[in-house]
Amino acid sequence: MSERTTLLAVLELNSNPDRLVERAIWLARAFDCSIHLMMFEPETTLVSKLFSASSNEDLLRDEVHRAQASIVAKYAETVSNSGIDVETSILRSRPLADYVLEKANELQPRIVVKATRYHSIAERSILVDADWQLMRTCSFPLWFVKSETLPDAPLIAAAVDPGHAHDKPASLDNEIITAAKSVAAVTGGDIHLVHAYESIGDLGAAATWAVKVQRLPVEEIDSQITDMHNAALVSLAEQHDINVEHTHMLPGRAQAVLPAFVHSQHANIFVMGALSRWGVKRALIGSTAEHIIDHLPCDTLIVRVGEYPLDL
């Protein structure tokens, strides 16, 4: 059993706060955790500029702070009434992601929980959005809330890459499956492994058009690649005692086929891995995980290889 017994819930009033608190309670019950409810509500400086006198500005600020305290107290009461221990804090400074990471390092939570929304390309490109920053830098399991509700026994889709494309470490697949099994163990959920891979068909067709040499045996090569990926996926499932019939091979780009799979299978929770990015790589517009999350209709759990696994 993990010694991390607190769940850090990041509450934003403009991002489904009721749903966030409901999911935090659900997770806290499942993993036997207390909740630290951290409300983010930055200072309302634009409104204060309407007042010329500093005393009026102070009064307005005090009123806003009282309202914020009342709101977080209301949500804390909801948590407490569910039988879960709760602490609260209010964050009024930007950037949000930096302070979430600071609080997470202090609390050492089992999971960081945050509601999410669609992100524009501009937000991704200049890296101002807290969700993107947390995906890149949060060492703790990160749960993004999207679904309105979760069933008693959710369908859990775990995205793995047994071919280890893009230099992903093999241990990341193990981390992903371990997290999925932990969620399944406490919820009675059912795990499906899904693997997206790119076929050689399009590349081979382009090559045969470009050069007038002996045609490439595209179909034969593609079949060999498919068999290789399938064997690796089945081996991974057997290694983790996952039903082989619950493995799914999806030819195509991950950011296109994985959300489509989740929609078609009505998956409730999607588990995937992320890699830490630094330097030039961190300036790129998103990894595969970052491209996928906007198009998923369900809750998403993001894990990474490190010292804070989500295990039992």
> pTM of this prediction?
0.85
Is residue 270 over pLDDT 80?
yes
| pLDDT classification of 278: cutoffs 50, 70, 90 | very low
Is residue 46 over pLDDT 50?
no
Instruction: Please write the tens of the pLDDT for every residue from 222-236.
Output: 788 888 889 999 999
Q: What integer is the mean pLDDT of 119-140? A: 70
Q: What integer is the mean pLDDT of 6-24? A: 94
Instruction: Please write the tens of the pLDDT for every residue from 47-96.
Output: 445 554 455 667 777 777 888 889 999 999 999 999 999 999 998 777 88
Is residue 268 over pLDDT 60?
yes
HEC readout, the chain: CCCCCEEEEEEECCCCHHHHHHHHHHHHHHHCCEEEEEEECCCCHHHHCCCCCHHHHHHHHHHHHHHHHHHHHHHHHHHHHCCCCEEEEEECCCCHHHHHHHHHHHHCCCEEEEECCCCCHHHHHHCCCHHHHHHHHCCCCEEEECCCCCCCCCEEEEECCCCCHHHCCHHHHHHHHHHHHHHHHHHCCEEEEEEEECCCHHHHHHHHHHCCCCCCCHHHHHHHHHHHHHHHHHHHHHHCCCCHHHEEEEECCHHHHHHHHHHHHCCCEEEEECCCCCHHHHCCCCCHHHHHHCCCCCEEEEECCCCCCCCC
Give the model's pLDDT for residue 121. Answer: 57
